[in-house]
Amino acid sequence: MGMLKMSARSNGVSVFVRTRPSVNFAQDLIEYLPDQKTINIHMKKDTRNVVNNQQSDWAFKMDGVLHNVSQSHVYDMTAKNVVLRALDGYNGTVMCYGQTGAGKTYTMTGATENYKQRGIIPRALQQIFRETEERSEQAFTVWISFLEIYNETLFDLLSTLPDADSRDSQMTIVDDGNGVRVKGLSVHLTNNEEEALNLLFEGETNRIIASHALNKNSSRSHCILTVYIESRSRTLSNAKYVTSKLNLVDLAGSERLGKTGSEGQVLREAMYINKSLSFLEQAIIALADHRRDHIPFRQSKLTYALKDSLGGNCNTVLVANIYEEAAQIEETLSTLRFATRMKCVQTEPAVNEHIDPVLQVKKLEMEIRQLKNELAIHDSLANRSLVSYDAMSDTQIADINFQVHRYLEGTTDEIEIVNIRQIQEVFAQFKVVLHQQEQEIEAKIRQKYTLIDRSDSAAIAAAVKAGHPVDMVGEVDGQGFGIGVAPSAAKHGGSSIISAKKAKIKKGKEMISPGRKDGLVSPGDGKEVEMGSLSKMYQLVSSTKDLESKEHDVHSIESHRSESACKDDHSRPNSPPPKSEAFEDFKSERGSEINRILKENKSILLEKRKKVKELMDIINYTKEEIDSTKQALLAKKQDRQLQGEYVNEEGETVIDEEEFDLIMKLKELKACYRSNYDELRNTKAEDQYCQRLVEQCRSRLLREFESWYNESYLIPEEVQNALRDRGSIRPGMMPLNRVLALEEDEQERFERLHQELLSSSPGSISFYNAHMRTQQRKHYFRAMSQAQPQRKTARVIIPQVKNKPPSILLSS
Ligand code: ADP
Ligand code: MG
């Protein structure tokens, strides 16, 4: 039972009734039940004004009825826990409500001249400082403010103190998300109980002085003494700290306007009091109603100031002060009703926890230090002695840069992985080196050539006019930049100056095909190097003074020449071999491994194809058999029906042996069909898989070949040298456009197409066969036109084979 009540109390506002003892106790009207929680009110029937349905008996159940008890007992029952919880970081409010003279001030402040009769506030202050001394692991800081609200005006009861700097400023209540506070209200740091009590008495005195000076009735104002508590762990590493606010509230008298019969200032005061108390009541009704999400706190200064102290995350206690006399019974009843409403307000007390950013940083720094130490231990256990987890120094970065250079040169095979930071730096240095190389190449080229922006037609025209040979080089899909080498025609004094338009070459792969249809291309235009990441497109103009010395190079790297356009072709020893020839060389040398795998995969693919074909044949045959068997059965049946059926005793149709055999055969055929069909499906899947492998191998082979071919024949020697100085040209680093389309073997392609068609629509096979033949014819002519006699270059650069192609294995 007790437990239940405790939990009920912690979920709502705790409400107590305290009585002011009287010699004229209205024992007929007021009844205290022995449970010390219930108070019954019995109203005498008003004989002058009989109303039948008027209720005359009430029972009010509270958390406690404090009748004839000591101040100490009142404190223990009402405030003690709230204060303890405030020290733990929960906001708390203890509030006295009741008509003037019912004992609110006596309960809250008590008799200031009598220690034994001191009230809740001095006892709370005492408990706070005693507790803070006991909780030695925490460092507490306590501040106090004392606010009076009179006729909707805020007064700072501690403003006369020297450190109250806000005397002149207008006080306002603000809600800045961290709770409500009164801007301009002085808040006083308090080190011990005595200092705190001084503040309380100072405030009380100010209250009395002000009431005389302003001719106001002090029982008509609300007083809120607030204790602010901050608690931090004495452990420096703990960045968390908690704060709380304890409001001790002595409300103005709750007596109703009608009864006081006041006028003038008294009337106005009464109006304000009534207003703010009725707003308090409205706020409380709203708080008690779970469906309401808007609480009208801002209707009055009182409710606004108490916004975060009435419900919500606050421990709230209400003490309802009542007279015991018959004359006050109506006010008593009204006070008890208010108390009952207050009891319905739900609260969810929560600790106000904060994190100190400065301490948090310190704490994290310490944690990082510890983790680094731990990593160091791990590293030493793993025999990795020189690992640092700090940011890279310039020396370390330079070292990584050096390693990257060595790696690109091929003087080292791998860069050892140390940690994530180092890996990231390695990537960064790759970028740096790449960028450097691009710039160096461009600089080298610029030494020999004048580069004109491709789009700068005026500059091109000027160059042409000045008699420079202009060589327009391949347009590489709108990106990258082509390097052309000046045509030798300049030397021959031929008409080598060509317009950019004429020289425009559509695709890299056309460059080595001899004998252009349009015949407009200048001889010697065939060298093309795609510099992938150089962003500008340039046109190259060789300066005449360079021409003679460059002539040899030009010849050596020219890819092809048109016989008709250049008569002294044979004098040039260094034209690259046709790709078809080079490809054969490649396959037997550097590309042998990948070529072998390709061949292997091809043969496996071929087997699969053969099997597919076989299965298809079987299936087709079975299908035909099924059809003819069905036909035969149908004929049998018709026969049977024509001749009249034999029916045995059980009424079953009797069939002859021949028909029976046919039925069995059909059954077998169907089973055969199904099993072969399943196998076909599986084999086809394997076939497709092999097909992909073959394609992969083939494109790998072609890629490797491209790099090899480019490096061996197409990259101008000076560029090669420029790159070789750094030693960092690698296969695949400077991919040329595909110059030659090494197409998939036509027969294979046909086979594949055939496979695809075979099962779906056999009727279309002839169409596709015809299509295939046309393709083959086209291909043949293209191959013939490329097969012009070419001399193989004398200068063959064999690049280092750094990357062996990975073996592609078939899972059978
Ligand atoms: P309020 O603040 O509600 O107007 P006070 O606290 O000023 O009322 O009480 C009015 C008078 O009644 C005071 O003289 C006070 O000492 C006395 N009094 C109130 N309650 C008690 C009580 N429980 N025991 C003894 N005296 C009381
Ligand atoms: Mg009072």
Please tell me if the CB atom of residue 100 comes closer than 6 angstroms to any atom of ligand 1.
yes
Rounded distance between C-alpha atoms, residue 233 and residue 253, angstroms: 42
Q: Pick the residue whose CA is nearest to atom 16 on ligand 1.
A: 106
Tokens of 722: 């420029």
C-alpha 108 to ligand 1 mean position (Å): 10
Closest CA to 716 of 566, 584, 542, 567: 542
| Chain centroid, CA 415 distance in Å | 33
The atom number, within ligand 1, closest to the CA of 106 reads 6
Q: What angle do CA 544, 545, 551 make, to 5 degrees?
A: 75
Q: pLDDT per residue over 285-306, tens digit each?
A: 888 777 777 888 888 899 999 8
pLDDT in tens, 83-133: 999 999 999 999 999 999 999 999 999 987 778 899 999 999 999 999 999
In angstroms, the CA 515 to CA 508 distance is 15
Residue 764: what pLDDT?
A: 53
Residues in CB range of 758: below 8 A, 6 or more apart: 612, 613, 616, 765
Pick the more confident residue, 596 or 452. 596
Kindly report the pTM of this predicted structure: 0.51
| CA 191-196-202 angle, 5° bins | 135
Proximal ligand: closest to the CA of 101: 1
pLDDT at residue 481 is higher than 50: no
Closest residue by Cα to atom 22, ligand 1, is 20
Q: Are strands 314-323 and 91-98 parallel, antiparallel or unpaired?
A: parallel
Backbone φ/ψ region at 515: left (φ over 0), alpha (ψ -120 to 50), beta: left
Q: Report how far ligand 1's centroid is from the alpha carbon of 532 (Å).
A: 95
Predicted pLDDT at 474:
42
CA distances from 177 to 174, 341, 348, 428, 544 (A): 9, 28, 18, 46, 79
Bridge-based pairing state of the strands 14-20 and 64-66: parallel
Alpha helix stretches (DSSP H) within 189-236: 193-213
In the predicted structure, residue 323 carries a pLDDT above the cut 80: yes
In 3-state terms, what secondary structure has residue 307?
Answer: helix
Q: How confident is the model at residue 195 (pLDDT cuts 50, 70, 90)?
A: very high
> Would you call 526 helix, strand, or coil by DSSP?
coil
For the CA of 98, the closest atom of ligand 1 is 3
The residue whose CA is least distant from atom 26 of ligand 1 is 20
Residue 349 makes CB contacts below 8 A (sequence gap 6+) with: 10, 85, 90, 91, 313, 314, 315
Question: Is there an atom of ligand 1 within 6 Å of 208 CB?
Answer: no
532-541 pLDDT tens trace: 333 333 344 3
Distance 76 CA to ligand 2 centre (A): 21
Segment holding 249, helix H or strand E: strand 240-250
Residue 331 to residue 730: CA distance in whole angstroms = 99
Sign, Cα dihedral of 534, 535, 537, 540: negative
Q: Which atom of ligand 1 is nearest to the CA of 100?
A: 4
Distance 323 CA to ligand 2 centre (A): 14
Fill in the amino acid letter for 471: D
Ligand 1 centroid vs 119 CA: distance in angstroms? 11
99 lines ligand 1 (CB under 6 A): no
Ligand 1 binding pocket includes 300 (Cβ within 6 Å): no
> What is the overall mean pLDDT for the chain?
74
User: What span, in angstroms and rounded, lies between the C-alpha atoms of 155 and 210?
Assistant: 10
In whole angstroms, give the CA distance from residue 468 to residue 544: 7
Give the residue, out of 71, 106, 109, 208, with the most ligand 1 atoms within 8 A of its beta carbon, to mutate for a pocket test.
106
358-377 exposure pattern, b = at least 16 Cβ within 10 A, e = fewer: ebeeebeeeeeeeeeeeeee
Candidate ranges 403-407, 559-563, 695-699; pick with highest mean pLDDT: 403-407
What pLDDT, on the 0 to 100 scale, is given for residue 384? 66
> Which run of H or E residues covers position 152?
none
Q: Is 110 in the pocket of ligand 1 (CB under 6 A)?
A: no
Please give the residue that has the higher pLDDT: either 574 or 318: 318
**105 Cα to the center of ligand 2, angstroms:** 4
| Candidate from 16, 18, 19, 20 with most ligand 1 atoms within 8 A of CB, to mutate | 20
Is residue 798 very low, low, confident or very high in pLDDT (cuts 50, 70, 90)?
very low
| E strand or H helix at 600 | helix 592-643
Ligand 1: does its nearest atom lie under 6 Å from the Cβ of 102?
yes
The more confident residue out of 276 and 502 is 276
More confident residue, 139 or 166: 139
- Mean pLDDT over 29-38 rounds to 94
Which residues, listed in sequence order, are joined to residue 91 by a DSSP beta bridge?
314
d(CA 35, CA 28): 19
Say how far apart CA 185 and CA 171 lie, in whole Å: 6
**Is 219 near ligand 1, meaning CB less than 6 Å away?**
yes
Q: What is the DSSP string of 720-739?
A: HHHHHHHT---TTTSPPPP-
**What is the DSSP-derived secondary structure letter of residue 511?**
T
The sign one gets for the Cα dihedral 473, 789, 734, 807 is positive
DSSP string, 349-406: ---EEEE-HHHHHHHHHHHHHHHHHHHHHHHHHTT-TT---SPPPHHHHHHHHHHHHH
Report which residue type is found at 117: Q
- Start-to-end CA span in the chain (Å): 77
Q: Ligand 1 within 6 A of 104 CB?
A: yes
3 state DSSP class of 201: helix
- As beta bridge partners, residue 30 has 41
- Using one digit for the tens of pLDDT, what is the confidence trace for 220-261? 889 999 999 999 988 866 788 999 999 999 999 888 655 445
| Residue 705 identity | F
Cβ neighbours of 646 (radius 10 Å): 11
Task: Please say if the pLDDT value at position 9 is more than 60.
Answer: no
- Reading the block at residue 276, the tokens are 């703010």
Inform me whether the pLDDT recorded for 70 exceeds 60.
yes
| The predicted structure's pLDDT at residue 152 | 85
Tokens of 166: 């806000």
Instruction: Using the mean position of ligand 1's atoms as its centre, give its distance from the Cα of residue 102 in Å.
Output: 6
**Mean per-residue pLDDT, 139-152:** 93
Is the beta carbon of 105 within 6 A of some atom in ligand 1? yes
Q: Which ligand is nearest to the CA of 113?
A: 1
- pLDDT given at position 48: 52
For 178, 311, 548, the CA distances from 545, given in Å and listed in that order, are 81, 95, 7
312's enclosing H/E stretch is none
Question: How sure is the predictor about 52, in pLDDT bands with cuts at 50, 70 and 90?
Answer: low
Q: What share of the chain is helix, strand, coil (3-state, %, to 5)?
A: 50, 15, 35
3-class SS of residue 547: helix
Q: How far apart are CA 436 and CA 331, in angstroms?
A: 93
Q: What is the pLDDT of residues 755-789, one digit of tens each?
A: 665 555 555 555 555 555 555 555 555 655 555 44
Instruction: Give the C-alpha separation, 369 to 294, whole Å.
Output: 49
pLDDT at 234 (0 to 100): 87
Q: Is the CB of 247 under 6 A from ligand 1?
A: no
Q: Distance from the CA of 123 to the center of ligand 1, in angstroms?
A: 17
For the Cβ of 221 lying below 6 angstroms from any atom of ligand 1, the answer is: no
The predicted pLDDT at position 355 comes to 87
Cβ of 602 below 6 Å from ligand 1: no
